[in-house]
Chains A and B, each alone.
Chain A
Amino acid sequence: MLAAIFLLLACQLIGEALHRITGLALPGSVIGMVLLLGWLALVRRERPTLGAVSGWLTAHLSIMFVPAAVGLMQEGPALARYGLGLALATGVSTLLTIAVTALVFRWALRRFTPEEVGKRPVQPAERGA
């Protein structure tokens, strides 16, 4: 358990350090996620506790961003002024992105991997938030 928590924190720590040293705009936690992927590829073994810890964190992601969302109480003026624009831009962008992603996926599937067309492999799925 502690080893899994250590691994997550160490990846984030190195990610934050890289972020600060290189001035990269990529958030330290995202760099840490890439580092963890690299570590998993490098050191191959079963990691049930890491799966349990990261699964627990993912399952409770929602409550972790409540403190930030409450910060909205300071954003009244911006919301009053740009609320309509924000809602419209977010809504249109969401629908457009779904359509474009699905269309390009289908086109590329037929064009580059015809052997995969019509296959719908089912695997135990991982949930995220």
Chain B
Amino acid sequence: MSALTGLLATPLLWLAATLGVFEIFERLSQRSGRHPLCHPVLWTTPVLIALLWATGTSYADYQADTFLLSFLLGPAVVGLAVPIWAQRERIARLAVPIVLSLAAGAVTSIVSAVGILSLFGAPADILASIAPRATTTPVSMAIAQQLGGVPALAACIVLFAGIVGAMTATPLLNAMKFDDYRPRGFALGVSAHGFGAARAFQVSETAGAFASLGMALNAVMTAALLSLLAIFL
């Protein structure tokens, strides 16, 4: 057995465990037709936490071993520029509605989330974790860290927001009598990031394209708004 203990000093075990567990839930998610409640992160996370607990592994060790995965978030966020660039003509044509509704949505999201949570007497670090709740996870974690929040909590909040948005947008927007897929998709992307975009693609290609756009633009808008706020506070 002692021949194997040296292995634990390498990232191999937890990196492999993370990929393996994720792949299982990824397949289940595919089989469910990408139901929001079957999102692989939602199930991979508790299973890994249980494994870490069962083996007495500290989070710091796990975090160090899976650094390779979290590092990729940075270049992935940079790469979001590519789909935005691909849609520049559409953005230019609808610049006014896009900019106005983006600003309104970003402000609504931050003010309502932080406002409601502050009624529960939550301290500043918890409020900072919910402020970027509408942005795509890597951006929300980066913003939460910037503002003195908890990245893990921000990631969990964003997941929950995505599930709520993906499950309620269609009945909500139908009740509000929206028949144009552009505002429908865009609103879904602004409020529920990638989950919203995935849901929008199930409904229509146009809604999906506008949802991707909303997600990408709101990542920048919310980051910019909260940065400004951080400077003045």
| CB–CB B150/A98 < 8 A | no
Least Cβ–Cβ distance between A8 and chain B, in angstroms? 4
Q: Mark A59-74, 1 if CB is under 8 A from B, else 0.
A: 0111111111111111
Q: How far is the CB of A71 from chain B (nearest CB, A)?
A: 3
A-B CB contacts (within 8 Å), total count = 380
Chain B 60-77 residues near chain A, CB threshold 8 A: 62-63, 66-67, 69-70, 72-77
Q: How far is the CA of A91 from the CA of B162 in the complex (A)?
A: 9
Q: Are B97 and A109 in contact (CB under 8 A)?
A: yes
Q: Chain A: which residue is nearest B44 at the CB level?
A: A66
Q: Which residues of B contact A116 (CB under 8 A)?
A: 93-94
Are A126 and B83 CB-contacts (below 8 A) given A64-B69, A105-B98? yes
Beta-carbon contact of A95 and B209 below 8 Å: no
Decide if B24 is an interface residue (CB 8 Å cutoff).
Answer: no
Q: Which residues of chain A are within 8 angstroms of B191 by Cβ–Cβ distance?
A: 94-95, 97-98, 101
The answer to whether A53 touches B206, judged by C-beta atoms less than 8 angstroms apart, is: no
- Contact A71–B151 (Cβ < 8 Å): yes
Residues of chain A within 8 A of B87, CB atoms compared: 123, 126
Q: Which B177-192 residues sit within 8 Å CB-CB of chain A?
A: 178, 180-184, 186-188, 190-192
| Across-interface contacts of A109 in B (CB, < 8 A) | 94, 97, 180, 182-183
Q: B117 touching A86 by the CB < 8 A rule? A: yes
Given A11-B78, A30-B220, A101-B214, A66 and B136 contact (CB-CB distance below 8 Å): no
Q: Note all chain A residues with C-beta closer than 8 A to B37.
A: none
Known contacts A65-B73, A75-B150; A93/B165 CB under 8 A: no
- Please report the C-alpha to C-alpha distance between residue A111 and residue B193 in the assembled complex, in whole angstroms: 27
Chain B minimum-CB-distance residue to A100 = B108
**Which residue of A36, A67, A97, A113 contacts B96 across the interface (Cβ within 8 Å)?**
A113
Given contacts A26-B224, A54-B78, A71-B152, 12 further A-B contacts (CB under 8 A): A54-B79, A62-B26, A65-B41, A69-B156, A86-B122, A90-B113, A100-B105, A105-B186, A109-B183, A123-B90, A128-B194, A129-B198
